[in-house]
């Protein structure tokens, strides 16, 4: 399970999905870390506010990144698919050190960008060193199989999650956000049972996963990151279960990671416990059977 579409690549930029509602004023540790990653005072950050229905979202984040010391901020609104072919916007992506995708509606974001030159540029530039972060909808849209919507609840149920094509920045797992706050364990489990590669990442609010080119994930923020590993999953009858009924799953491994934890996505092992991590920073759930 590794981000991107290539083997481990030391030149690949970081992928940084954020669970939404990140602190932007009092203690913006996630956004400050992203600015530093992109180069600090020399950083050129491009903001894509396409997911948002508000006209000023791009400017709001531009102001935040400016206050955090980024040297240059560009706003790429992408209000039409024609905008995604604009040479002016594509040149910005050619020179940006980092891209930030705001929250809003991940379906809107994916439908606007998917298959365009802008989407291709995001993938190719990330593979060659540009860092990409996304919050809330911007995080969900990163994956190839994107969670487009669904229901709350801890129990996986047939029809509980709607999947759609995302931007393909990560191809081996699905991403969910506002995870604990909106009780989304069941829908992520259902999604993992529905995809052939069977892995998922659930991000709490004000919490980010900094995924590096070495396939390690570092947690930054006040909440937790839930990693669901379904490579050994069996007894899933999601396709044959009637809509709304519980789906039986066994062989699921579930890891709970907290601030400072460093986790290897390839071997599914905890490499480092953070200073705020509890003594059981990683938990394993071997079987979930609800029939």
Show which residues are catalytic: 136, 178, 205
Partners of 258 in beta bridges: 224
Report the alpha-carbon distance of residue 286 to residue 72 in Å, rounded.
Answer: 47
Is the backbone of residue 22 left (phi > 0), alpha (psi -120 to 50) or beta?
A: beta
- Cβ–Cβ under 8 Å, residues 2 and 31: no
Looking at residue 195, the DSSP 8-state letter turns out to be S
DSSP 83-146: GGG-HHHHHHHHH-SEEEE-SS-HHHHHHHHTTSHHHHHHHHHHHTT-EEEEETHHHHTTBSEE
């Amino acid at each position: 399970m590794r981000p991107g579409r290539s083997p481990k690549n030391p030149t690949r930029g970081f992928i940084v999905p954020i669970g939404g509602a990140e602190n932007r004023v009092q203690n913006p540790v996630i956004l400050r870390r992203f600015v530093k990653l992109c180069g600090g005072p020399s950083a050129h950050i491009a903001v894509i506010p396409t997911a948002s229905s508000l006209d000023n979202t791009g400017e709001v984040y531009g102001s935040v990144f400016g206050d955090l010391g980024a040297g240059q901020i560009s706003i790429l609104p992408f209000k039409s698919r024609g905008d995604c072919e604009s040479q002016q916007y594509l040149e910005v992506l050619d020179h940006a050190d980092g891209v930030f995708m705001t929250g809003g509606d991940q379906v809107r974001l994916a439908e606007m960008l998917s298959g365009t030159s802008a989407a291709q540029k995001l993938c190719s530039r990330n593979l060659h060193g540009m860092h990409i972060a996304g919050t809330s909808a911007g995080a969900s849209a990163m994956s190839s199989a994107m969670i487009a919507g669904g229901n709350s609840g801890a129990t996986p149920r047939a029809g509980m999650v709607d999947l759609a094509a995302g931007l393909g920045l990560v191809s081996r797992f699905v991403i969910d956000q506002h995870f604990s706050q909106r009780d989304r364990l069941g829908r992520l489990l259902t999604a993992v049972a529905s995809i052939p590669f069977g892995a998922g990442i659930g991000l709490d609010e004000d919490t980010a996963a900094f995924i590096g080119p070495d396939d390690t994930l570092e947690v930054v923020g006040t909440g937790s990151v839930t990693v669901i590993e379904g490579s050994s999953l069996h007894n899933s009858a999601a396709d044959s279960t009637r809509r709304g009924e519980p789906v039986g799953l066994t062989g699921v491994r579930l890891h709970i990671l907290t601030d400072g934890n460093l986790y290897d996505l390839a071997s599914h092992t905890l490499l480092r416990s953070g200073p705020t991590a509890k003594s059981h920073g990683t938990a394993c759930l071997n079987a979930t059977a609800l029939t």
